[in-house]
Amino acid sequence: MTPTTVLTIAGSDSGGGAGIQADLKVFGALGAYGTSVLTAVTAQNTRGVDAVLALPPRTVTEQLEAVLADFAVRAVKTGVLGTPAVADAIAEVAKAGRLPHLVVDPVLVATSGHALGVVAAVERLLPYAEVATPNCAEAAALTGAPVTTVEEMVAAAETLAAAGPAHVVVTGGDVDADGESVDVLAGGGRTTLLRGPRVATRNNHGTGCSFSAAVAVRLALGDPVPLAVDTAKEYVARALTGGRDWKLGAGAGPLDHFGWSPERPVPSARPA
Ligand SMILES: Nc1ncnc2c1ncn2[C@@H]1O[C@H](COP(=O)(O)OP(=O)(O)OP(=O)(O)O)[C@@H](O)[C@H]1O
Ligand SMILES: Cc1ncc(CO)c(N)n1
């Protein structure tokens, strides 16, 4: 048996809950072999981001070429891109058709408010995405319209899907929709609401990274986009539930990526 290979192009989170570290955990938990291209190094913990160092485009390209030259990469996700120059370098490779099943998580701002990316960089890559996964704040920055309700999430997902990516999921981690957590999937002329119970926890660091990484694994394993997104939402809900009472760090703690917690009532995401 040879595992399916997935690639993350993202930044390092020294606290281990988001970024490259979260992605590699998700890949392993969902049964894929993970490779990684580092774009930036953050000094970060559960309380916030203290510093960000973007790597030079050449260093990113060298890592990317090393991985692509030696592994049969079946899906790719991107997170923090660092700079527009790095985004350009990655976009060149995507344009050449060398980044299959590309999932672009347009990371702009950490939950703590620290800037992690710029719209100008994200926009270079979005046209090549099979799935883009902005949260509400990112969808608002990309469309220029407010995104705070489910109706506004639908409008933003449809606007973004009409402008580049084949599919867009606007994730609603920050929107409490009557006790539910609702994501909106738009693409291929259809819009679907994904609903699941909202997990009450402070430990939500890295939900967006984990979600997009899970989508990439499921695409690599052959799921069509709606099923991949549905499965990823369910995975994140389980990981949130499992880590609900964890005390790792004093701020927003990480998820239970590997399902270590013994009692995990399993909420299910269901398309509406
Ligand atoms: N409290 C919660 N309960 C259930 N699902 C949640 C909760 N918070 C987030 N999610 C789910 O997690 C996934 C990621 O969404 P979210 O909007 O939190 O991403 P994000 O803001 O980019 O995350 P982060 O920036 O913290 O990494 C979505 O499927 C969303 O519905
Ligand atoms: C490195 C990194 N990537 C992404 C996020 C967004 O959660 C973060 N906090 N840190």
User: What local confidence, expressed as pLDDT, does residue 112 receive?
Assistant: 79
Mean pLDDT of each 10-residue bin along the chain, 272 residues long: 97 98 98 98 97 97 98 98 95 98 95 88 96 97 97 98 97 88 96 96 97 98 98 97 96 96 55 36
User: What local confidence, expressed as pLDDT, does residue 272 receive?
Assistant: 33
- Give dist(CA 4, CA 79) in Å, integer: 20
User: What local confidence, expressed as pLDDT, does residue 265 receive?
Assistant: 47
Q: Which residues line ligand 1 at a C-beta cut-off of 6 Å?
A: 18, 111, 135, 171-174, 181, 183, 196, 198-199, 204, 206-209, 211, 233, 236-237, 240
Q: Is the CB of 108 under 6 A from ligand 2?
A: no
- Give dist(CA 3, CA 148) in Å, integer: 40
Domain ranges of the chain: 5-242
Pocket test for ligand 2, best of 13, 37, 52, 77 (most atoms within 8 A of CB): 13
- Give dist(CA 165, CA 209) in Å, integer: 18
Regarding an ipTM greater than 0.85, the answer is yes
For 5-242, CATH number out of 3.40.50.150, 3.10.50.30, 3.40.1190.20, 3.40.50.300 equals: 3.40.1190.20
First to last CA, the chain: 37
Q: Which ligand is nearest to the CA of 214?
A: 1
Ligand 2: atom nearest CA of 13 is: 1
User: What local confidence, expressed as pLDDT, does residue 103 receive?
Assistant: 98
- Give dist(CA 213, CA 152) in Å, integer: 25
- Taking each helix axis from N to C terminus, what angle separates 19-29 and 207-220, rounded to the nearest 10 degrees? 40
Pocket test for ligand 2, best of 174, 209, 211 (most atoms within 8 A of CB): 209
Task: Give the residue whose CA is nearest to atom 20 of ligand 1.
Answer: 208
Task: Give the residue whose CA is nearest to atom 3 of ligand 2.
Answer: 19
